Amino acid sequence: MFMTFVKRLPGNVSRLILGLSLWLTVPAAFAEYGLNFQKPVTSIGHKLLELHNMILIICVVIFVIVFGFMFYSIFAHRKSRGHKAAQFHENTTLEVVWTVIPFVILVSMALPSTATLLEMDDTSKSDLTVKITGYQWKWKYDYPDQDIGYFSSLTTPPEQVGSPRFSKEGFKPGADKNKEYLLEVDNPMVLPIGKKVRFLVTANDVIHAWWVPQLGVKKDAIPGFINEMWTRIDEPGLYRGQCAELCGKDHGYMPIVVNAVSPEDFTKWVAMQKDKAAAESAGGARTWSKDELMEKGKKVYASSCAACHGANGEGMGPFPKMTGSTIANGPLADHMNIVMNGKAGTAMQAFAAQLSDTDIAAVVTFERNGFGNKAGDVVQPSQVKALRK
Amino acid sequence: MATAHHADHPTGFSRWLFTTNHKDIGTLYLVFAFIMAVVGGLMSLVIRAELWQPGLQMVDPHFFNQMTTVHALVMIFGFAMPGFVGLANWQIPMMIGAPDMALPRMNNWSFWILPFAAILLILGLFMPGGGPAAGWTLYPPLSAQGGIGTDFTLLSIHLLGMSSILGSINIIATILNMRAPGMTLMKMPMFVWTWLITAFLLIAAMPVLAGAVTMLITDRHFGTSFFDAAGGGDPVLWQHVFWFFGHPEVYILVLPAFGVFSQIIPTFARKTLFGYDSMVYATASIAFLSFIVWAHHMYTVGMPMAGELFFMYATMLIAVPTGVKVFNWISTMWRGSMTFETPMLWAIGGVFTFTIGGLSGLMLAITPVDFQYHDTYFVVAHFHYVIFGASVFGLFAAVYYWIPKWTGHMYNETLGKWHFWLTMIGFTITFFPQHFLGLAGMPRRIPDYALQFTEFNQWSTVGAFMTIAAQFLFFYLAIRCMKGGSKATDKVWEGTDGLEWTLSSPPPYHSFTVAPKVK
């Protein structure tokens, strides 16, 4: 009766009322309303949810008892009801009691927490290792034992994000959004289910944090240092997360997608990735036409450069524009140098480590001939290869 | 000679520029804090307006990051800290029976550093490349990427830190040397006690921040590599040093508010504070513990297990003295004869919201589950419950409590109650849903979000506009109270007890020129 009434209220109100009542009744039902953790799919994830629910319930009970006293007092001990102040103070017994009881409660919380923490820390006996590297603003996943490595970046089209009122381009409202808006990527991390996966987490430029709520893992990715964590996924599926540590302008636009598949499908996927890598390196050996380079360069620009330098080369804030750029219109060697080696002290990264010879050749060609720039040069993959040390 | 000097009352601008009077300087601090609160509040509205719906509508992500960064810096260093120093300036001499602060000229200087520091901080936003965008925590290497706006911020933090250290030295010197005869330490009002402990925290913590900021400046401009792994440094070093300052800073913001609650609740319950001694010891324990828990802000950086466990246990321990304080306030109310004038509403509201923030803080202390909460909106909800819920509520409580004494006029009680309830409701609508957003997986410091987070963000935005709007009521009320209103008695409130209430309302420009005797 009550529930049907509540469900007919406007969405926000009914969700809040249902959510609050659920908080006190059925912890397992939270997930559906987006009020508690997302559904865990690892044993650690389940333990974290249980631990969280236990602590939350203890806190709610303490809150209700303590404020039960306060609100009773506010109701009963008011001057307007003629209550006279009882002048009592200091009571050692009471003060010892309310020091000891919280302490005991804390110990009861600390014990299971310590056990879970120790389990989370044990990365030994893993079946697979994946190295995660944070970049501004995408992730790189390397499988050292399988000899696979690739970047994973956002695929939500910029038209869906839109352009804000206070920007150079002026207000363009975002188009209708995909269901997985901002949580979709080109190349998800693929993991086999039922296997213990050890993650090595690091970063290339600034600190990021790799977080997939349903796996129950989060670790900072710190340049120059390698952190470890592990997971074992129980069921196949797509699990989504985001960078959790502020990492600059597009911090909100570097999602994580994990595709958990059966071990057989994982083996097939590994073979496919290897074929793809072979085809890519074959492309680096031949000579490309200017049109081919321009076409490929446009794609590379969109995925690697547009975030800072603007989709149309217009730049933004501290990030220089492409149109009329002194570098894109200046000597080729300088242009190659800044693209391949980055610029220290700025967000301009060393793309030599991120892009293939073909990609770099294409994007430099595109920058020198697109956006109204008229340098006219064409760069071949072999030239890039020669510049690599 | 002395009388001739004292008789000299410059008027107009030079009165405020050259003043060494604790009451004038207290007023300057409070006015400055209010202006900064407006500036920081408007920035929060930029943030909330952008987060009204998914997609970018108002500002680009780079500017959004500048807003989150500068909002926090302005609110912490420009609003909350100077606000409480203003209260200390007005109240401490009157509460301990001293004629003024111990070091009046330094007092003038510690205030007048602030406007310049604030201008530097705000000007950063207008520099090429914009202001600081690495969050108020300024984590390198990201903060090393910022433009000249970041340097403005770093220098501004140096100035703000200097001002705080000078102010604290003054407060300690005043409290230790200038108490009226008979006022032993254990007879001091709780507000004075909490400020004494806070001042020690400031003196211990602010130089650490200054050290970290200096290292960042040399990393940015003089080729050092303290925080750059490529040069042999460690980005996590910054986090350790920053939070060694940052955690005590939390208590710097909240302890004086505890002092305010401990003055107001006994007044309106018409009872003495339940456990004065245990309140003093609890405050001191919290202050001590605040120096050994810093790394609970950094559970995900990859610390050794021993570190994770130590910081978890130490942090959980803070719940014990904090609990003692809450239980004491409630026992003070218990079987009292309570009335609910505006200061009492703010104090009870503050205890209520602070306790919610304290309990979510206990959840955050627990390392394994913190891996899920860390850097989400759950944290944003938590620290707004403690900093807004305790410090800001404490500031308002104090202003309503003492403004009749300061101005000699009662404020408008109806307006005061409206201000409280609108703020309380607006605050709850803003920040309560953020707990759910965090648990459901929304990271903090993002300008745009996945679709499932839309509804609660809309609640939050509505609440934020309501909260800020309510502050205009306060502005109107405060101005009206300064200009006139019904005459306040010396005692002001029925249940007051303490030296400041023995003075006239408003107090003479120079009060307690002859020290009172405390029994």
* Span A159-171, average pLDDT: 87
CATH number of the structural domain spanning residue A292? 1.10.760.10
Whether residues A147 and A257 share a domain: the answer is: yes
Verify whether the Cβ–Cβ distance A252 to B133 is below 8 Å: no
pLDDT of residue A20: 55
> Closest chain A residue to B232 measured between Cα atoms?
A224
Residue boundaries of the structural domains of chain B: 24-502
> Between residues 263 and 302 of chain B, which touch chain A (CB distance below 8 Å)?
269-278, 300-302
Considering only residues A33 and A207, tell me which one the structure prediction assigns the higher pLDDT.
A207
* Segment A272-308, tens digit of pLDDT: 998 888 887 777 778 888 888 888 888 888 888 888 8
Residue numbers of the domain that contains A248: 129-281
Same domain, A237 and A359: no
State the count of interchain CB pairs (< 8 A) between A and B. 324
Contact criterion met (CB below 8 Å) for B128 and A318: yes
pLDDT average, residue stretch A11-36: 55
Q: Do A77 and B330 touch (CB under 8 A)?
A: no
Whether B135 and chain A come into contact, CB under 8 Å, resolves to yes
Flag whether residue A179 sits within 8 Å of chain B, measured between CB atoms. Answer: yes
Among B142, B276, B338, whose Cβ lies nearest the Cβ of A248? B142
Do residues B154 and B213 lie in contact, with contact meaning Cβ atoms separated by under 8 Å?
yes
- Which of B333, B432, B448 to mutate to probe the A interface, most A CBs <10 Å? B448
- The DSSP call for residue B447 is S
Do A302 and A359 belong to one domain?
yes
**Closest-CA residue in chain B for A44?**
B368
Same-domain check for residues A12 and A46: yes
Q: Same domain for A257 and A323?
A: no
Q: How far apart are CA A292 and CA A277, in angstroms?
A: 19
B338 touches chain A (CB under 8 A): yes
Q: The tokens of A182 are what?
A: 């901002």
Task: Strand A255-261: give its sheet, edge to edge.
Answer: A189-192, A255-261, A237-243, A208-212, A217-221
Q: Is there a single domain that holds both residue A235 and residue A292?
A: no
Distance CA B396, CA B470 (A): 12
Whether A79 sits inside 8 A of B441 (CB atoms) is no
Specify whether A256 is located in the same domain as A290: no
Are B363 and A249 inside 8 Å of each other by CB?
no
Interface membership of B326 toward A (CB under 8 Å): yes
B449–A86 C-beta distance less than 8 A? no
* φ and ψ of A257, to 5 deg: -130, 130
| Min distance A384 CA to chain B CA atoms (Å) | 25
CA distance A147 to chain B (A): 26
How close, in Å, is residue A306 to chain B by CA atoms? 14
CB contacts, 8 Å: A35 with chain B: 436, 439-440
Q: Provide the pLDDT for residue B325.
A: 96
Mark which of A281, A302, A329 sits at the end of a domain.
A281
Chain B positions touching A248 (Cβ under 8 A) are: 65, 133-134, 142, 145
Question: Which one of the listed residues B29, B193, B243, B251 is annotated catalytic?
Answer: B251
Q: Do A222 and B302 touch (CB under 8 A)?
A: yes
DSSP H or E segment with residue B9: none
A368 and A296 belong to one structural domain:
yes
How near does any CA of chain B get to the CA of A320, in Å? 10
> Is A164 part of the contact surface with chain B (CB cutoff 8 Å)?
yes
Active site residue B511: no
- Residue after which a domain boundary falls, among A256, A281, A306: A281
What's the mean pLDDT in A8-13?
58
Instruction: Evaluate whether B285 touches B321 at the Cβ level (below 8 Å).
Output: yes
- The pair of structure tokens assigned to A247 is 């990492």
Which of A118, A120, A252 is nearest residue B446 as measured by Cβ atoms? A252
**B positions 219-258 inside 8 Å of A (CB):** 220, 228-230, 234-236
Domain count along chain A: 3
Give the pLDDT of chain B (519 residues) as one tens digit per residue.
344 455 567 778 889 999 999 999 999 999 999 999 999 999 999 999 999 999 999 999 999 999 999 999 999 999 999 999 999 999 999 999 999 999 999 999 999 999 999 999 999 999 988 899 999 999 999 999 888 999 999 999 999 999 999 999 999 999 999 999 999 999 999 999 999 999 999 999 999 999 999 999 999 999 999 999 999 999 999 999 999 999 999 999 999 999 999 999 999 999 999 999 999 999 999 999 999 999 999 999 999 999 999 999 999 999 999 999 999 999 999 999 999 999 999 999 999 999 999 999 999 999 999 999 999 999 999 999 999 999 999 999 999 999 999 999 999 999 999 999 999 999 999 999 999 999 999 999 999 999 999 999 999 999 999 999 999 999 999 999 999 889 999 999 999 999 999 999 999 999 999 999 887
Question: Do the Cβ atoms of A117 and B305 come within 8 Å?
Answer: yes
* Angle subtended by helix axes A43-76 and B342-365, to nearest 10: 160
Looking at chain A, which residue has its C-alpha nearest residue B68? A246
Annotation: CATH topology of B24-502: Cytochrome C Oxidase; Chain A (1.20.210)
- Does one domain contain both A98 and A7? yes
Let me know whether A320 and A344 are in one domain: yes
**For A202-221, what is the mean pLDDT?**
96
Looking from the CA of B22 toward its CB, the CA atoms found within 13 Å total: 27
Q: Do A77 and B135 touch (CB under 8 A)?
A: no
More confident residue, B9 or A9: B9
Rounded to a whole number of angstroms, the distance from the CA of A133 to the nearest CA of chain B is 15
The distance of B240 to chain A (nearest Cα, Å) reads 14
Strands A227-231 and A197-203: antiparallel
Whether B296 is catalytic: yes
Task: Give whole-number Cα distances, B141 to A104, A277, B70, B71, B367, in Å.
Answer: 42, 33, 18, 21, 25
Q: Are the Cβ atoms of A114 and B129 closer than 8 angstroms?
A: no
Catalytic residue among B297, B374, B409, B435: B297
> Could you tell me what percent of chain A has a pLDDT over 70?
91
Tell me the CATH number at A212. Answer: 2.60.40.420
Tell me the torsion sign for CA atoms B129, B134, B137, B141: negative
What number is the average pLDDT over the span A94-99? Answer: 91
Q: State the Cα torsion B168-B171-B175-B177 to the nearest 10°.
A: 90
Asked if B308's CB is within 8 angstroms of A70's CB, the reply is: no
User: Are A117 and A71 in a shared domain?
Assistant: yes
Asked if pLDDT for residue A13 goes beyond 70, the answer is no
Q: Is pLDDT larger for residue A38 or for residue A23? A: A38
Alpha-carbon Rg for chain B, nearest whole angstrom, is: 23
What H or E segment, with its residue span, contains residue A29? Answer: none
* pLDDT-based confidence at residue A342 (cuts at 50, 70, 90): confident
* DSSP codes joined into one string, B332-368: HHTT--B---HHHHHHHHHHHHHHHHHHHHHHHHSHH
Q: Which of residues 7-36 of B touch A (CB under 8 A)?
A: none
Buried b (16+ CB within 10 A) or exposed e, B140-176: bbbbbbbbebbbbbbbbbbbbbbbbbbbbbbbbebbe
Residues of chain A in contact with residue B380, where contact means CB-CB under 8 angstroms, are none
Please tell me which of the candidates A48, A78, A227 has its beta carbon nearest to residue B368.
A48
What integer pLDDT is reported at residue B104 of this predicted model? Answer: 95
For residue B61, the chain A residues in CB contact (below 8 A) are 249-253
Closest residue in A to B371 (Cα) is: A218
Q: How far is B441 from chain A (nearest CA, A)?
A: 6
Closest residue in chain B to residue A71, using alpha carbons only: B330
Instruction: Using an 8 Å CB-CB cutoff, list chain A residues near B308.
Output: 117, 121
The one-letter amino acid code at A342 reads G
**Residue where a domain stops, chosen among A281, A308, A339:** A281
The tally of CA atoms less than 13 A away on the side-chain side of residue A137 is: 24
Q: Smallest Cβ distance to B337: which of A77, A182, A218? A: A77
Tell me the pLDDT tens digit for each residue of B241-276. 999 999 999 999 999 999 999 999 999 999 999 999
Q: What is the mean pLDDT of chain A?
A: 87
**Residue A51 sits in a domain of what CATH number?**
1.10.287
Q: Is A162 left (phi over 0), alpha (psi -120 to 50) or beta?
A: left
Using CB atoms, which residue from B331, B369, B449 is nearest to A182?
A: B449
In a shared domain, residues A149 and A103 = no
Answer whether A317 sits within 8 Å of B235, measured CB to CB: no
At residue B328, the pLDDT reads 96
Question: What residues pair up with A238 in beta bridges, in sequence order?
Answer: A259
| Contact partners, residue B412, CB within 8 Å, separation at least 6 | B477, B480, B481, B485
Residue type, A309: H
Using the beta-carbon criterion (under 8 Å), do B445 and A246 form an inter-chain contact? yes
Please, which residues 443-482 of chain B have a Cβ atom closer than 8 Å to chain A? 443-453, 455-456, 458-459
* Active-site pick, B174, B262, B267, B430: B262
Task: Report yes or no: B432 at the A interface, CB cutoff 8 Å.
Answer: no
- Using a CB-CB distance cutoff of 8 angstroms, which residues of chain A are in contact with residue B330? 66, 69-70, 73
B322 noted as active-site residue: yes
ipTM of the complex: 0.91
Sign of CA dihedral A324, A326, A327, A332: positive
Return the amino acid letter for A264.
E
